[in-house]
Amino acid sequence: MKQADVVILGGLSGITAGISCRRHYPDKKVILIRKEGTVLIPCGIPYIYGTVGGPENNVIPDGLLESNGIELIKGEAVDVDRKSKVVTMKDGETIGYEKLVFATGSVPLIPPIPGIEKENVYPVKKEFDYLSHVYRHMNDVKDLVIIGGGFIGMEFADECRKGRDVNVTIVEALPHCLQIALDNEFCEEAQKKLEEAGVTILVNEKVQAILGDGRVTGVKLASGQELKADMVILGIGAVPNTELAKKTGLELGFRDTIKVDRYMQSYTDPDVYACGDCAEKQSFFDGRPIGIMLASIATSEARIAGANLFSPTHHNCGSISVFSTVINDRAFGVAGLTERTATHMGARIVIGTAEAPDTHPGGMPNSSHTKVKLLFSKDTGVIMGGSMSGGKSVGEMINVVSACIMHRMTADDIVKFQMGTHPALTSSPIVYPIVNAACKVVIPLKGIV
């Protein structure tokens, strides 16, 4: 039987947990067990079919483990005996541990739609060989239907049209694509950008059945409309991969995720930790369980879990929920609460908006127009959320907003923000949109207006 101080079950967040453990406890032996031969970058999966040009260009090299002194075992763990602290592999090999980390991630949600099992209907699995198969078949597709208008569906639609003569249609049950993540004005902007690229978007529509004899030929909607389809992509979300955790006797919580405390330690066993999509998450704002699954949250939790394995070091402040995406060269980002979610919570808010080019002057090459919307608590002035659209700078600007939220900065704090600026890199300091959006709410928050 092999023996290790730490055994980690899983892929992407498991890598981060292992590196964090080795950083804090360099004398500990760490073994990572994973079923997949190759680990993909999850957020890059849609880009396999366009910009990146194949799954082989979207992988995390195993050398990252080797350089951090982490042993990799490729295979499937099928049982955990927590009393004896032993993991059993499918091939019968056993591995002993002192601390165990579940980083088993998630699997795609497959809805009970009649015909869902037909050939050329593909849920988005994080498997190299599977996605390679989809990639090869994509080149022969003429009519592609994507079920789900969230980030995965929108990004797939944007990427699959690149370099292909293909008709792409998104079917979304809600009134807007990206509605769970963005406020309406940003949803509408994103939809318009994708429609400009030639993608058809059908909202307020549900799929009733997938048509065809063995192989998909079309999609029937609840409205009675039928769409031609020789391939269907399912982009409607994911569920936690916690079957082994359940078998092991760990307590599961919201949506069958592993219940953990602020140190990522399981409720059931002090020597078992969990991080990533398989672990339960609480909102930064109200502490309630939420079902957000993001690589950024997973890696943050993994750093916390790895650091805490042998001594409490970091605690999880809760999920702020930071998103970003690019649709037809237009970037969209959101951090924390949107106006919709704040209203649903019953929060009293004040909203500040600002717009500016992301260069100064705006006529410089590659300049983009940036729109920013910030939400502040009407009672305390503390920032609660931010949304924006624009050029590539949005990807890092939304991270700045997330940092402001995490440190509970007020509008007054942000007004005094000292930004580094350059004509080719940022908006002018006079009209820097994050600061100007905050400036617009300072007086209302003081009750003068």
Selection from 104, 45, 426, 414 nearest residue 233 by Cα:
45
Please check whether the domain covering 2-35+75-107+239-308 is classified as CATH 3.40.50.300. Answer: no
Each residue of 230-248: pLDDT tens digit? 999 999 999 999 999 999 9
Each residue of 332-391: pLDDT tens digit? 999 999 999 999 999 999 999 999 999 999 889 989 999 999 999 999 999 999 999 999
- Cβ neighbours of residue 262 closer than 8 Å, sequence gap 6 or more: 315, 316
- Cis preceding linkage at 429, omega within 30: no
Each residue of 269-302: pLDDT tens digit? 999 999 999 999 999 999 999 999 999 999 999 9
Q: Do domains 121-236 and 329-445 have the same CATH topology?
A: no
Each residue of 178-232: pLDDT tens digit? 999 999 999 999 999 999 999 999 999 999 999 999 999 999 999 999 999 999 9
- Residue 200: its pLDDT value, please? 98
210 with 217: CB under 8 angstroms? no
| Tokens at 354, concatenated | 């600002």
Q: What is the pTM of this model?
A: 0.94
309 with 273: CB under 8 angstroms? yes
Greater confidence (447 vs 252) lies with 252
Looking only at the bridges linking them, the beta strands covering 2-3 and 200-202 are: unpaired
- Residue 269: its pLDDT value, please? 98
DSSP-derived secondary structure letter, 181: T
- Residue 12: its pLDDT value, please? 86
Q: Does residue 443 surpass a pLDDT of 50?
A: yes
Q: Does residue 89 surpass a pLDDT of 90?
A: yes
Confidence of residue 11 (pLDDT cuts 50, 70, 90): confident
Greater confidence (35 vs 404) lies with 404
- Residue 188: its pLDDT value, please? 98
Calpha distance 332→318 (Å, rounded): 23
**pLDDT, mean of residues 315-325:** 96
Confidence of residue 447 (pLDDT cuts 50, 70, 90): low
CA triple 168-173-176, angle to 5 deg: 80
- The dihedrals phi and psi of 357, each to the nearest 5 degrees, come to -65, 150
Write b or e for each residue in 306-338: b if 16 or more Cβ atoms lie within 10 A of its Cβ, otherwise e.
bbbbbeeebebebbbbbbbbbbbebbbbbbbbb
Q: Hey, what long-range contacts does 77-83 have (CB within 8 A, 24 or more apart)?
A: 77/9, 77/33, 77/35, 77/244, 78/244, 79/244, 79/247, 79/248, 80/244, 80/247, 80/248, 82/248, 82/249, 82/269, 82/271, 82/272
Selection from 61, 62, 73 nearest residue 30 by Cα:
73
Helices 151-160/184-196 angle, 10° precision: 20
**pLDDT, mean of residues 147-153:** 96
In 3-state terms, what secondary structure has residue 395? helix
336 with 324: CB under 8 angstroms? no
Q: Does residue 449 surpass a pLDDT of 90?
A: no
Confidence of residue 177 (pLDDT cuts 50, 70, 90): very high
Q: Does residue 448 surpass a pLDDT of 60?
A: no
The dotted CATH code for 121-236 is: 3.50.50.60
Q: Roughly how many angstroms between the first and final C-alpha of the chain, as a whole number? A: 72
CA triple 314-242-279, angle to 5 deg: 20
Q: What's the CATH superfamily of 329-445?
A: FAD/NAD-linked reductase, C-terminal dimerisation domain (3.30.390.30)
Mean pLDDT across the chain: 95
Q: Does residue 309 surpass a pLDDT of 80?
A: yes
Task: Give me the residue spans of the domains in the chain.
Answer: 2-35+75-107+239-308, 121-236, 329-445
87 with 77: CB under 8 angstroms? yes
Selection from 367, 338, 339, 341 nearest residue 355 by Cα:
367
Helices 394-406/433-445 angle, 10° precision: 40
Q: Where are the beta strands (DSSP E) in 286-342?
A: 289-290, 322-327, 330-336
Q: Can you give the C-alpha Rg of the chain in angstroms? A: 23
